[in-house]
Copies of this chain bind each other. A is one copy, B any other.
Amino acid sequence: MSLIVQKYGGTSVANPDRIRNVAARVAKYHAQGDRVVVVVSAMSGVTDNLIRMAKEIMALPSDREMDVLLATGEQTTIALTAIALHSLKIPAVSLTGAQAGIVTDGVHTKARIQNITPKKIHELLNQGNVVIVAGFQGQTQEGQVTTLGRGGSDLTAIALAAAIKADLCQIYTDVDGVYTADPRIVPDAKKLDVISYDEMLELASLGAKVMQSRSVEFAKKFGVVFEVRSSLNEHPGTIVKEETKNMEDVVVRGVSLDKNQAKVTLVAVPDKPGIAARVFKGLADANVNVDMIVQNISHGAGAPATDLSFTVDKPDLLKAQKVIDGLKTEIGFGKVIATDNIGKLSLVGVGMKSHTGVAAKMFETLAREGVNIDMISTSEIKVSVIIDLSKGEHAMKAVHAAFLG
């Protein structure tokens, strides 16, 4: 007799057959007396098709109209899901984001949820309905259609779970949960039973794309415990929650490899105040997201100079180079070395806070495997290194074996 929010992504509702499967799963919970709110994404392929048509008409369509356009994807799924539940003789009512009371700001295509008034949801639940809510979308105070951007359906589910004080929030996906490493690369990766928000956030930002950081941050902020699990089987998934003392007994929770990074090094940058600020202000102005930054100590005999390296998302590399080229005369550095032939290997675990030697053991492992380390960056619960892309998967396996094997 729990109040449950379940979220099903695009592949789980890809066609009428899969939607029937979702309905069958929801039906089980309904049969055991649970009250269920179902959040669904657009059927996979639908959103891409809508974007393709819009871009066929205009290369840069307006954000407002893209929201009106894309919101139809989830609206289609809610109706079909409600119908699928009806076919199982389960009372169900669909709600668009607006109808569900999800109010956002007016930043089209990446709106933020401002508040949720779940009156209608409670009403419908109290009448015995399963309530199907369109993920990814909301409405401004003024009645404009908005969408929440990438990963928006997860966000809808977690925000709704917070708003209705759900006992359980289940994020259904096509994997069994969160793994100690990507099982496609590391065959003996293990599914985690539990992981903390912070670990999940590090993994998300490190390229283990189970969920967008934004949704995890929201869950952390509002203390929403959620479970990532598969819509294809009945296995329990991974519980994501606030870290507890005994989570620290596990030093390393997982290993991730991000292949989507590129590195830029400015060689022989004059070592004087304001230079780094100038570089990263320029990149920020060009909307280039910078991840790791490493600056070494000064070297050289004459005027003090240093090497400044940073990483960006691979698609932003050209844009970043253009920014840097534009600063060459102003700053007067030696040369620029850019490469997208790198991988970022990371170890994550809240246990690192209380255990020493993790970085050292990681570096030893890499040395033993003949993997050269290019850049290092650490946080309280993470060690990341930039290495040669070609050695990425091998290094990942070795580090996984050393810590989690």
A contact set with B: CB distance below 8 Å: 16, 19-20, 50, 53-54, 56-58, 61-62, 64-66, 68-69, 71-72, 75-76, 78-80, 82-84, 86-87, 93-94, 96, 98-99, 143, 145
Contact = CB atoms under 8 A, between A and B. Distances in A.
B87 A19 contact: no
Number of copies of chain A assembled together: 2
A57 B94 contact: no
Considering the complex of A and B, which 10 residue pairs feature the smallest CB-CB distances, nearest first? A69-B79, A72-B72, A58-B87, A68-B79, A16-B56, A61-B83, A65-B79, A65-B82, A72-B75, A16-B57
A68 B96 contact: yes
B86 A58 contact: yes
A58 B61 CA distance: 36
Given A16-B56, A58-B83, A75-B75, 13 more contacts: A19-B57, A54-B79, A57-B80, A57-B83, A58-B84, A58-B86, A61-B83, A61-B86, A62-B82, A65-B83, A65-B94, A68-B75, A68-B96
Contact of A80 (B53, B82, B93): B53
Interface centre among A50, A61, A79, A80 (most CB of B within 10 A): A79
A137 to B, nearest CB: 12
B72 A86 contact: no
Contacts of A16: 53, 56-57
